[in-house]
Amino acid sequence: MPELPEVEIIIRDLKKVLPGLKITGFWTDVKSFKKAEKEILNKKILSVRRMGKNILIELSQNTTLLIHQKMTGHLMYGKWEKAKEEKKEKWVSAISGPMRDDPQNRFIHLLINLSNGFQLALCDMRKFAKVKAVKTDELNKLKDVKIGPDPMDKNFSFEKFKEALKRKRGAIKKILMDQKIIAGIGNIYSDEILWLAGFHPLKKVESFSKEELKKLYLSIKPVLKRAIRARGSSYIDYRDAFGRKGNYQNIQYAYGREGERCLKEDGGVIKRIKIGGRSAHFCPIHQKM
């Protein structure tokens, strides 16, 4: 699932190309997406921003297009044309390169035509993504944005972090992944943050001392910034707005490294366990309970 760094990369890419353009057309084969068509057609794109893992495309006339890419979705900016394959029609990139050649970019389920001749496409293999148009001045009423503080916000202080975790109970990995507590962190980056901070993913949040919480807090931004610099993790199916892979999967500390030696060179070998149905990767040497 695209997490904060991956969504941030797409936002930064789209900010360079979308503002000022007008929406001129709309195609989808997902029934729930069609409700947005009449609300966004012929409206001008004013800005693009991120709220947690949500992508918000602010339009003219008090309208915002909210997109959550969910597990396998990613937005791309380019041009597509219909082609026939085994008697079926499908959308194929009209631009050569990764959008055409990478098989992870072939699951097109939404196309938004733009006034400059380009399109905004949603690729989503499992069709779990959410797309809906809302009134901009009512955005804060949506449960989609009832989320915790953003760890990349300049105002995300240690005091705000402590307050977010106050009176919470349970495994720290699950707490870090709870969007109502802290926005944007998921399976990959919770493992990475805990590896860097040196805490076992099953350690109970209520057992943390103030000093341990500070150590955890100070590990969050460095991991997220490192992932953004690497343009996100394409460990599975994430691609950026131009269909390109990120590079973070090549420099991950713990996630996806089961059976490999710990990069701290402490003699540990990365292990994987299940927590609430999700995988957790950690070093048993420096991430003790």
Annotated catalytic residues are 2-3, 53, 278
Contacts of 144 (CB under 8 A, 6+ apart): 54, 66, 68, 130
Determine the distance from the C-alpha atom of residue 98 to the mean position of all C-alpha atoms in its chain, rounded to a whole number: 20
84: left (phi over 0), alpha (psi -120 to 50) or beta: beta
CA torsion through residues 212, 215, 219, 221, sign: positive
d(CA 113, CA 26): 6
Distances (CA, A) of 255 to 128, 201, 246: 23, 12, 15
Cα atoms in the Cβ-side hemisphere of radius 13 Å centred on 228: 18
d(CA 18, CA 245): 21
